[in-house]
Structure 1
Amino acid sequence: MLLLSLIALTSNFCWWGFFVVTGIKVLFYPFDLIISTTCFAAVWFRRYFTIQRKTDKLVDQLKRANKTKDDFLANTSHELRNPLHSILNLSEGILEREKRSLNEKSVADLKIVLSVGRRMSFMLNDLLDAMSLKENTPRLMLQHLSIHTIANGVLEMFRFMVEGKPIRLNNQIPENIPNVLADESRVIQILFNLVHNAVKFTREGEISLEAYVKDDRVYIAIRDTGIGMDKDALKRVFDPYEQVRSEETMVEGGFGLGLSISQKLVELHGGILTVRSTPGQGSVFTFSLQISKQTGLADDNHLLVQSDRENELAAATLSKPTISPVAYRPRILVVDDEPVNLKVIASILANEAYEVKTVISGEEAIAVLDTKEWDLVVADVMMPKMSGYELTKNIRQRFTLTELPILLITARSRPEDIENGFRAGANDYLTKPVNLLELRARIKALTEAKQSIRDQLRMEGAWLQAQIQPHFLFNTLNAILALSEIDIKRMQKLLEVFADFLKNKFTFTNLDELAPIEIELSTVQSYLYIEKERFAQRLNVRWEVEDCKALMIPLFTIQPLVENAVKHGLNRSSGGEITIKIKNEDTYVKVTVTDNGVGMDENIVQHLLTERPSARSGIGLRNTDMRLKRHYGKGLHIESKLGVGTSVSFLVQKQMVQADV
């Protein structure tokens, strides 16, 4: 075909040349040129279709290879997660269990193993997210969200990561910025990836989140003072598996999927993720979200998103038989800045045996904590001003894990988020959307655990109240018997004091209630009178009590300290001196019991209130410490020195006393 076309083309040029040279003018039709062009076109089209078939075949092969690669990465990620988590769990277990016996280098090596393992886990999660976004478009659960609240919670997640580093995390998003219409979990994921990228490439300086409104959209900017990027890096920054070269940054990266994932999630919300950067000065990533048209407090769209689930919850709640009133209803404090979420949880627990109180901020929750004793706090993580993490850490300054359980609820389910919650001091963690049965089961488990602790404390208090040990009774009765033969008046006085002491011991059944300090001091005076009759001149008591008659304190908080000083502080042969000092300051009253007895070494003092008490050591100090912490946030302060003596003190804040009263 090609040869024929060449012959036809040659023939055409030959005849054309002949006619030009000879000057003969003859009308002719260029059939040979037409045949030549047709033959050439046929050759070209055949080659085109051949190449096209090969190209299509190659494209299919590449698609299959790419699909095989994606399947391999997804399957590998799933298969690696279990052994990786086993390695992490075993390493953490060894580190916690053998930390004291291992040398410093071994401990440091184990910490490196954990750090590398957690980085691998983060990379695997990115791979799974990328595969999920590539295979299908996830359905967005659109809600009316406060971007300030979400940003506050995301930054709180990274505070543990930047501890000890010269990096400041600032949320500069105005609190009055309009709400946005978006998927909460996806927005958190976008911000998490962008902030994580900023932390990763910022050695020192500041990472700030900003926002502004333009054209019915809220623009959120993540600004850092990191290493920045050049023009070439900016062109490929959002490409999957793209990373800045390590020789340029000296920073180890992951798979380079975080920014690509964020870009796709932003596009799903109808926005665009952009970046501006200057090498050596930092980068600014900006994306936009649609402004919510809702103006009222009620979150209609959020209700629509949850309508099916709420109907299911309501049906289950209505079909459940009403529980009859009980003597004690556990008190639950629910904290969430979203009124609809508060209504949902309140409706779930409406027919349960709980007393539920709802508040809309962490600050309000802190204020409500002082009004009564609570059995459980259920808090959302993403809240403005004070996040769930901050609220948890604030509560843990006053209450231990057993004294006030905390259940955190959030849209994030990554292991890093759950770890941050537990490190802040949470007892349990739930992810949205919350399952009805799971929520009820976890609340029941936590409130029952608190009730068990309360019962245990009451039993310990009752034991403390009845802790008139046989030898104390025996010695007191012996003293009364001895005095009956030598001094009837002293015997009668001792009997009266002993009767007052027993009356004070058994009059009150609730040790958590507050009573005038005069009643407590009366019990202490009765106890010391009895002991002075036994020790005679060997026990000297000094009273330094300032005017504080209006002060109310928990029952039996001073008497156990004095009893402990007599039993364990004084030398049995030579006796000693006990000083009871009550100092009235402007904002607090300080109560101190001091003895000049045998004292204790530092190791015993450090573990006296933290270790589980033995039958021999008794429970007076530990019980008193726990009850003081529940009321005032701080317990006993103990100072002691071997051969010098011991001082035990506690503070009573006057404003807290007034609130309790």
Structure 2
Amino acid sequence: MSTIFRRTLIAVILVFGVAANATALLSAWLLHRHLTDEYVTKGRAIAMAIAAASPDALVADDDAAVQAMIDEFLHIDGVGYIFVTDRQGMVLAHTFIPAMPKALRHETSAAVSQTHLEGIGDYLQVTAPILAGEAGHVSVGMDKVGIWRVMRGAVMRQEGLMLAMLCVAVLVFYALVGGITRPLVELAGYAVKIKDHDFSAKPPETGDDEVGILARAMESMAAQLSLLVSDLKRAVADTTRDLEDSLAHTRAIINNLADGLVVLDADARITLFNPALLAMFGKKAEEVADQPAAEAFPQAMAAMAGACPAANQATAAEVRLANGGTGKAVATGVRLAGEERRATIILVRDITVEKEVDRMKTEFISTVSHELRTPLTSVLGFAKIIRRKFTDLVAPALTEATPKTWRGAQQIRENLDIIVAEGQRLTELVDDVLDIAKMESGRCEWNMAPVSLAETAGHAVRAVAGLAARKGISLENKLPANLPRILGDRDRLIQVFVNLLGNAVKFTEHGAIVVEGSVDGSEIRVAVRDSGSGIAPADLERIFEKFKQAGDTLTEKPKGTGLGLPICRQIIERHGGRIWAESEPGQGSVFRFTLPILAEAADTPAAPVRHPAVAPGDNTQTEMRHILVVDDDTAVRRFLETLFTDAGYIVATAANGAEALSLAANWQPECITMDMRMPGMGGKECIRRLRQNPATSHIPVVVVSVVSSRERAESGADAALVKPVDQEALLATVRGLLEGQDPENTRPCLVLSRNGGREVSRRFFMCPGEATILGQEAELWQAVEGGFQGTVFLPASLGHAMDLERLLGFPGLHVILIPD
């Protein structure tokens, strides 16, 4: 018996059974209703017959006649009991033996009622009045047992008929459905064989009905499926072979990668690695497979799994390798399948050699930059000397020369100006290269202290004001003076402002340059806005790369080294901020950077303090002064000798520290200029020995070198200048040290102290006039712009970042750099 047949048979039986039972119930209900009505009618007829025949007997008080009459009706089918009551409800006669139930004695009012007699049965009681109730009532109880007996017989007969009909229907159904389901069962077996890829099986024999059409269609589909499965098997075999080849190729590539590869799942457990990774970290495969990354590799690599939550997001970090080398790990987040399965792929490259090469490159750049400063000192120095002598001696003698000679002289003067200007420009380029080299090597000095950005920006604006004025550009500082202070290196931040403002001036032909700023949460946001030519979108990030500039450097003239903005980025990031540019070609540019706010405010700077002048000493003529020049470079010695000789001093030279000690002890110079880096004995050791010798300890020493400000401050010298040295600054420094005690010279002094302090720490401080100590650079600029004339003493750590060229441009001003 097929499943279809069984299910259909059960459905037929259930439907037929429900229908049969519903019909039987309906018939029983109708029959019960009919029999009940029939019993009520019969009972009413008996009651009315007795009521019509009983008045005479009741009038005659013949209870026996009434009893005999009701006993005759008791034999009628369905009558259960009869009783007669008078008008007072007293029972006159009844058919109960031996006594009438008490429950019936007072129930004669209703015409038809349902009565239940305990222990006897259920009855339909019909009551009729005698003489309209004046003589009493007759009550007839119709036994319901007869109704149930008739109903039970009728229902049984009906159920038997239904069962016979069901059997006949099942037989008919079996004959009909069997002929339909048999080919379907055979067809299902054929379909199972096709499912099992038995395409050689034949479909069952069928006719032309729907089952036959289905069988032929399935046979055709089986033939097509046979072809498709054959092709699919061949394709799967080819794909499997290609996939195995591809996997083998990929595995070979992974195993032979020079870089280490590791794949971490969402729980930072290792799921894939290559031999190069094991070699880098000195691990075995069993120590790494399916292990947490934090247990097998440095913590920085394990943290990368959580650092790339989104697909295609990358992060990088340096890690320590097993051999003591350095590796660079680059992690990328990937999504393997769906939204939930994510992994992190980490590539580790051994960059030990690259780091060493980068270190050597940085040292080379630093060394070359330092070495360039020495010849630049000679080139700029001699060019300025030649220009001055040409102006003072040669040009006046050519006033009566021929026009051709005069034009040649003017051309020589212009050429000398170009040499000096380009030398100074070359100095700036060398400074940039040296700055970026120091920052990359980690040897840059950072003097962190509370800084006011408004004051720092104001200093930079004043430094660049001359360049902007020459181009007719408006330059404005709109940084609020009440901005919170930051913790930073003031000199380096001035360098950032100067670089950004200098670039703005360089690329702006007309309009305005504005410095703006505001507080944004826990940081200060600063913007340098110009109305220049703008920057293409593709160059907005490129300009912050080293030696990269906006535009095409092959077709356009480069302006600078391309290091200014990378230096700015290094400085800003070192302070915990970030810098970026916003621009559109032809619409100007905005360079923005952020810096974190200092948690606590800095102390209020001290007010200027007046000091009395130092008592004058003995007066010695300039031409009698002896100066010792110490430098290992012959050209620098020759330049300094020429410079001091032209200034009226007697000069001796030494090529190293040992020669300097001997000459200083025997010749007793009154001032020494000292280079710091020399073969044999360096400048710092030479100064230390000079100070230890009582015969030379009083001689002031001026450092003229390319070393850092910290090295100059720790040298023990009395003043310091950076190569290429400014002639006027050097002469002013020496003159201040040697001639500061002239009683006829009452020039006042301004002393800029470091960090707003009131004390100046130095061995030689000679100021014949009134001395004023300033705590802020802004006070110094305010004084000189207000017409101050005299000597300005600057700490070396502050003076190297100031605009000395602008400061020396004020008339009647001498500038001396002193150690901190």
The bucket for the TM-score relative to the shorter chain is 0.3 to 0.5
TM-score normalised according to structure 2 size? 0.38
TM-score normalised according to structure 1 size? 0.46
By relative contact order (CA 8 Å, sep 6+), the higher-ranking structure is 1
